Amino acid sequence: MAKKRVIKRSWAEPFKIKVVEPIKMTTREHREKAMKRAGYNTFLLRSEDVYIDLLTDSGTNAMSDNQWAGMMIGDEAYAGSKNFYYLWDNVKKYYGMPYFVPTHQGRAAEHIISKILITKGDYIPGNMYFTTTKLHQELAGGTFVDVIIDEAHQPENEHPFKGNIDLQKLEDLIKKVGAKKIPYVSMAGPVNMAGGQPFSMENLKEVSKLCKKYKIELWFDATRACENAYFIKIREKGYEKKTIAQILKEMVSYFDGMWVSAKKDLMVNIGGFMAMRSKKVFQAARNMVVIYEGLHTYGGLAGRDMEAMARGIEEMVDFDNIKARVGQVEYCGKELDKYGVPMVKPFGGHAIFLDAKKFLRHIKQDDFPAQALVAEIYIDSGVRSMERGIVSAGRDLKTGKNHHPKLELVRLTFPRRVYTQAHIDVTVESIASVYQERKNIKGLRITYEPKYLRFFQGRFERL
């Protein structure tokens, strides 16, 4: 009798493809020209010239047939649209926050929350910065202070919860500047800039306790909260049997308020909101949204957008859906590992982060190694990625000097439900080829630098 073989049991996505969008195949020569025209900044490429678009997972997700069907029942009334009430109900039901104000995307909510809560001279501690979050805190007169654990700044450190807040750092800051100067602690998870790293429920509980002790509010950037809940389920003791929906609700229960970019977890192309427990803050936010976004029952969105968001909330807590997404990221990481490509570990929830400092040891940080690598990968294969290093970190608004972040990364971000495993294989093979030829890559110099968030519109040329 033949010996029984051990058979590998794979999993696959819990959906199939109904509609396809053709993508353009380009030549190296074409891409070389396109990159030069775009000033070596992938944000300035035309999407038509991109083969596999891993720039971001923001608003680039594939909506489900159920979400598309919902778009047809958009109630486009100026005031009191039924989609708004359905969305509010789902925010209450799934996040457990009583008050809700829609905005056209996440940063609009960050803007309004920052304006309401921050007074000039305040400090806002957070678990590493996010570009738009920090800028809105600064524009409101505050100073962002990074209180994430040290492990988050070490690419190879395999700590399972690198998004955790260092309680000692937080308490030291409170003692130094005084609790009155800290309007809220800003917590995000998984932490994008650290490589998509989650915080643990245990850490969140301790942060919440510390905040209560000093009467400081705790606010949640819940943009990727479901992915954080997924990591808690698979990595933290006591949560194995809980559903994503239960973990999400428990997480949110420790916060006073939150903001969300619906372009991530909720799998829509546009949308955002803020939600809170305080009626006073709710009223202030509702009042401010009419200045910047639109009436408080649409906040810059069409009725159909709110319907797609409401349905997205129901889909985002599906375990198999998140497993497929995080599984795709992990697959990419494991394949790249076979070629020895330096990356941030453990692999994050939404993206693989290449360690550009190690990848391009011969390029000094002031010559923008991650930006150079992003350009090179695009030229090699048409795969579009994003710089998350010295360009993204920007300058100190007061001194005008460049920030020099410890992490100099290239982010390959996976839109939800968009690409197949074969697309990932092509991506991996391209990066492995670029890695082999890395010695030939040159640094860049800036030729145009806008004042705010320079990574979006800055232009470069090869040294």
Ligand X SMILES: *Cc1c(COP(=O)(O)O)cnc(C)c1O
Give the residue numbers annotated as catalytic, written as ranges: 78, 130-131, 221, 264, 388, 455
Find the binding residues for ligand X in span 159-188 (CB under 6 A): 188
Region of 75-83, 101-109, 283-291, 334-342 interacting with ligand X (CB under 6 A): 101-109
Nearer to ligand X, 125 or 369 (CB): 125
Query: Applying CB under 6 A, does 105 fall inside the site for ligand X?
Result: yes
Minimum gap (Å) between residue 198 Cβ and ligand X: 12
Query: Applying CB under 6 A, does 137 fall inside the site for ligand X?
Result: no
Region of 33-41, 126-134, 168-176, 412-420 interacting with ligand X (CB under 6 A): 126-134
Nearer to ligand X, 67 or 228 (CB): 228
Burial of 70 (0-12, 13-18, 19+ CB in 10 A): buried
Nearer to ligand X, 106 or 346 (CB): 106
How many other CB atoms are there within 10 angstroms of residue 288's CB atom? Answer: 17
Fill in the per-residue mask, 59 to 78: x = in contact with ligand X (CB under 6 A), - = not in contact: --------------------
Find the binding residues for ligand X in span 232-291 (CB under 6 A): 261, 263-264, 272
Nearer to ligand X, 293 or 307 (CB): 293
Find the binding residues for ligand X in span 209-228 (CB under 6 A): 221, 223
Minimum gap (Å) between residue 191 Cβ and ligand X: 8
Minimum gap (Å) between residue 259 Cβ and ligand X: 7
Query: Applying CB under 6 A, does 385 fall inside the site for ligand X?
Result: no
Nearer to ligand X, 349 or 389 (CB): 349
Nearer to ligand X, 128 or 211 (CB): 128
Secondary structure of the chain as H, E, C letters: CCCCCCCCCCCCCCCCCCCCCCCCCCCHHHHHHHHHHCCCCHHHCCHHHCCEECCCCCCCCCCCHHHHHHHCCCCCCCCCCHHHHHHHHHHHHHHCCCEEEEECCHHHHHHHHHHHHCCCCCEEEECCCCHHHHHHHHHCCCEEEECECHHHHCCCCCCCCCCCECHHHHHHHHHHHCHHHCCEEEEECCEHHHCCECCCHHHHHHHHHHHHHCCCEEEEECCCHHHHHHHHHHHCCCCCCCCHHHHHHHHHHCCCEEEEECCCCCCCCCCEEEEECCHHHHHHHHHHHHHHCCCCCCCCCCHHHHHHHHHHHHHHCCHHHHHHHHHHHHHHHHHHHCCCCCECCCCCCCEEEEEHHHHCCCCCHHHCHHHHHHHHHHHHHCEECEEECHHHHCECCCCCCECCCCCCEEEEECCCCCCCHHHHHHHHHHHHHHHHCHHHCCCEEEEECCCCCHHHHCEEEEC
Rounded-to-integer distance, Cα 292 and Cα 114, Å: 14
Q: Which residue is nearest to ligand X (CB)?
A: 106
Region of 100-108, 316-324, 417-425, 426-434 interacting with ligand X (CB under 6 A): 100-108
Minimum gap (Å) between residue 188 Cβ and ligand X: 5
Number of residues counted as binding ligand X (CB under 6 A): 15
Minimum gap (Å) between residue 223 Cβ and ligand X: 4
Nearer to ligand X, 135 or 354 (CB): 135
Which member of 83, 90, 192, 203 binds ligand X (CB under 6 A)?
Answer: 192
Minimum gap (Å) between residue 415 Cβ and ligand X: 13
Minimum gap (Å) between residue 401 Cβ and ligand X: 25
Contact 53, 46 (CB under 8 A): no
Minimum gap (Å) between residue 189 Cβ and ligand X: 9
Nearer to ligand X, 142 or 272 (CB): 272
User: What residue type is assigned to position 82 of the chain?
Assistant: K
Binding site residues, ligand X, CB under 6 A = 58, 105-107, 130, 132-133, 188, 192, 221, 223, 261, 263-264, 272
